[in-house]
Structure 1
Amino acid sequence: MTDWYQALVAEALTRDRRAVRTLVKELEPVVHARVARVLLRRGAGRAHDIKEEVKDLVQHVFAHLFAKDGHVLRQWDPVRGLSLQNFVGLIAEREVTTLLRSRRQSAWQVEEPTVPEGFEQNAMNADGPEEISASRELLVDLLAAVRATFSEEAIEIFQWLIIEERTVDEVCALTGKSAGAVYAWRIRLERRVAELAKEILSDRKPRDRAARQMFLKVLATEEGQ
């Protein structure tokens, strides 16, 4: 299948109309899904109907892919491990994120801190529901602190690396950074998150000891993955 996609991309880059239509048809579902994901993550779904915005941004992404003689599309190399769909999906997320960031006055709401998926599963060994609830509150406080103190770029990389657990290759595709730069970002982010966690924990009462221990255990699990 990879060979078929490579041949299709090569034909589309020659501006063969049939190949372009086929390629767009193949890629439109993933581009649509990734565009919607970015908008919803930024709170657009809670503000208004985003269908038209998604449609416009999908067209923008395809224009970006084929711009400058298909410069971006030509960068896809299956040898690096990403399928064409995943590569284009990551490009779509990066382009939409960059576009939204560049808007001086955005109508989108700021994303609310959310607890990472699987939190309850990681907390299964807690003593009881009160400890799990307290740990959840602590984790929400940490995510709120991250969003209050990190730059927008740092928040996005934190979201991709720590919360969504994306691979370094995926984050490289999203940011355009080298693998070394992404690893350096991860080290800096984890160090700062640990500092914020200590600050939050220092304000907690002694009776929250069990919750603090659970929180640190879950945090260590998230950072170690």
Structure 2
Amino acid sequence: MMTAYRALWWVCSAALVLIGAGAALTLAPAAFVFLFLAFATVGGVVRLCLIPDPDARSLREQARLIGSGALIAGATACAFVGYAALLGTGVFLLALPVLGTSPYVVAICGRWLRAWPPPPSAPMGPVMRSLAYASPEYLGPPPLREFGDLTVEELCHAWRTSYIELQRQTRPARVLALVMQRQRYLDELEQRNARGFTQWLASGARPPGNPLPYIAGERLGHPTIDWDELTRGQDC
């Protein structure tokens, strides 16, 4: 990926340099020649100083590196002058993006970003559970999974907290999703204890109400109503 990006950057930069250098040559040919020779000399000397391990390289390879450095320096300087004559101070608005997107700058930024330590991956569950003592609704509904894995307490807690979340939502799609999720809670509660579920509805159940005493009344020690016993003998 980086190789393709480097090739694309060099092609685009070469096209910009050719256009700018052509403008400088057209506007001032004599100044163009002088400027090109001056910066080509400086670029060749700098490139010679930056050749890694020159003793291990042949004279032909060293000459190629020096020549490419001189050509790039001379052409870039002439292109800058040409764009400056055409754009004025706007030449910096053109130069900064070109330099900022160079493969060398991108590689340095990539190494700098990779040097940062990764964010901590410690679970937040214990912290959230400790805060839940102050507000039971803080935990919110449990994550969506098979409702058969949830306890009755978790189902009832999810039913109540989903109502609080529903009141805070403004996006229609999210509201619809919460309504459907609450319907699934009701279906599961009815499947767990149909009689307790019916008793809860008959007691005047409200959307934020807690059905736990009716769904798990026997286990929690809450009395349940025997509707068959109460209605026995009442038929006309």
TM-score, with normalisation over the residues of structure 1?
Answer: 0.25
So what's the TM-score if we normalise by structure 2? 0.24
Which protein is bigger by CA-based radius of gyration? 2
